[in-house]
Structure 1
């Protein structure tokens, strides 16, 4: 592994080392102002936060999206820019893990003695920043991040990285991504920063060597001093007063999360506003499209069918008690029960019918004892309901006829509006036709000028065309010669490969012949003797087979008994279900007869209602509606005559 050579001489004494470190510190930090240095110095703490987060992810092995959401919640108190920097660095390291592991794994393999496994996240983040974010960070911030970590380890890693960048690292990256992409987006930016990185590495090397010298400097020896009467040892300077202890401030309570969240009511109001706005836009679009659809006064067949369907639906809404029943279900002799029920449904239905029978018997007993039946009150209640229903039907019919009348009036107003719109549209069409005529004349003049220019340029290109054809023929001849030479080389290589393959086949055939020789093995085994291991449950193979046969026979008899018991239970259950089904069938027949009688009563009642529905106000509204329809037909006929004229 090549090492970096220091461009400065080693200092010969501690004083020279101190002065050299001072000058290095001032020369490096002189371009930064005070405010900018404070901003840049925070990147070291941000890098350490990112290292902690990356360690947590590699230890947890969880999903990247969930991990980033948890991390953003933990860093909620931090500034938005700092938080974004940390999350971008961590997510970038995780997404490009395959690319970064190529460098880190080989680095650990070569420097396993001086580097611990706990520092892997540091090297991953430094490698990511140097590869992908060096242009955005700049050299000053990048150097501050390196200073916040262990300089010696970072110096070792960066020298290793930039030394092997264009050799095996580039080859490994080419296997992951396209070679052109690696050269353009990864290698060339790092090569552009290479001179400045070399200077920075030299400065770090000087600092590391100075630190090693200070550690290895010999201890100072005490020198004896002569006694002097002129100096008084008791006159000592007054000691400096101890500074007062600074009182510790109480920890401030963290701001609750509810202060950063907007109330739910505002969000709900915004959603309602958006829905209302979307609904109004849809209604406006529908109104505009319907307006232009009404330009054609003659309705199509589909429109007429839709209108007829709407009228039928409105009429059907007024028939509350009209039932469209298909009659009683056809009785099938083969199938006793038309609906297939499961066991639970059969038992439940049987229990319900038994309960109804019990209730009916109790009611009959109460009537026998002298209780009264509320039949007269129910009859009066039914008559009053019929009367209210007739009044409601008359009011609904009046409302329907009023709506039809207003619809006819609106249709007549719409036809007048269409006539006015057609006149304005005709004027606009004439204006646009004049404008298009002028535009076509202008385009014809421009195309004529362009044709003249193209003809002049084509005459200038005729001479260059002949030279290009000669060059093309020369290139084709060179390509043919190269192809013939390449074909000859490939033929020689194929012959050599076939010879090598035939030799290998011969060797394999000899090995197979040796392996196919028979191996005679004599094996005597007594099935009646035990193995002789002196165990408590040891037995021979014959005894083991006999015991297994007896055990199998016992299991078969037990299974046969269980099967017979299950069949008996099934038979009892089936008999119970058949009885329940007979009971249900009797009840269904009775209910069908009762529903048929009720239906006949409803039909008779409905005929009476239809006779009473013809109200005077309804008849007047119907006459008014017929007059409006006749007036609208006259308008349509006059419009059609105008169009024909």
Structure 2
């Protein structure tokens, strides 16, 4: 029942599990019988009871589709049946050895441990190994002191003033400088306009510009276009068009107003710039006063530092003397070692020079022999090349080369053809020249006509310019109206006030300068006296130092000579 009706619903996996759970031999015989006879007498018997088409479609067809899987299952069952029929082999019994009941030996006692030898106590490492030598510390201190000295000397050279020159200016020079500044200020005209005024009317007549042909044609075309436009305008007026004279008049008035406004803006900017200049000058003078005060304070500080430096210098010179003596003793022992080294080096140099001379002599001899051999070979080759080669051959102009080509010809025929071509070319060139001359004459005539028209138009334009110039002269000047503006007058007043303040500051500066000069002269005298004393002490100490170092310097020169 399951195989025929429910195999599709169950699936082959579940069907296989059901078959394997039952008796293998019975299931194998059943499946073999059922699937071998399903298409023969089983189907025939079903056809007697049920419809043949229904049996073929719903019962026999699905079973035939599952036939390959059923065959595999039947093979598996057959294999299991064959394995099940074989007799099982009984396991062979083997003998097992047994241990003899012997007495167990007693464990050996552990040996006594050997005594570990104890190390002898070592002496501790001395502390001197981890300390730097005192000589290195002394040398580093000396280096630091020398570095400080050089820095102080550099600072002194940069900051200290020269004695031979007095940097402050005298009263005469200041008076001359003030006069020069006043003259320069008087020449300046800040209230005047920057424009150079209208051009002079008494100018020479400008020479006419020489125009080329392209310019003449271009200008002639322009004038022709203008004439056409004027004619068209007249025609429009005749037809009843409006004249733009009123609009042009309004346009002129508006332009004049714009010009006046621009001039007022320019004047305002000029006055504002002048005011800002005056304010900047006043601020500059104030900054100069501050800087002068700070400079005086720094000068006083530098004078104190110089005094301290002179005292330190004297102490350091004493320490340097002791060091120089120690170094001189060390240099005396190094003289003998240097002499031995020089002798050894001289002996080695002599041996090397003798060997090199021998090698050079051999190389020169070999090179000379090679050059002589090459020279002989070259002479032989030149003699062979100098022999003359006799080549005689007769040539006929009328004969062809004999290459059997289509365009082949002799030299005489070629010359004749070239002569004919030249004649044809000359005639063609002559015709071209005549044509070019005709074109040029026509062009000249056209240019002359254009020049006449250009002259007429230029005269008309010159007359219009004269009329326009007279109209400009009749107009009132715009600059007078600009100066009457209230804002400009206020700015002018402000500028005058700033100039007065600046003059007051200058006067106060001149008074302060006189007082500062007197104070500076007094301080300079005091510093000069103190500096003279300090420098005299330094010079004396240097003389003593040089006298002590004199024998050491002589010994150094002798070593250098050797």
Question: Normalised by the size of structure 2, how large is the TM-score?
Answer: 0.50
Which structure has the greater CA radius of gyration?
2
Which is bigger in relative contact order (C-alpha 8 A, separation at least 6)? 2
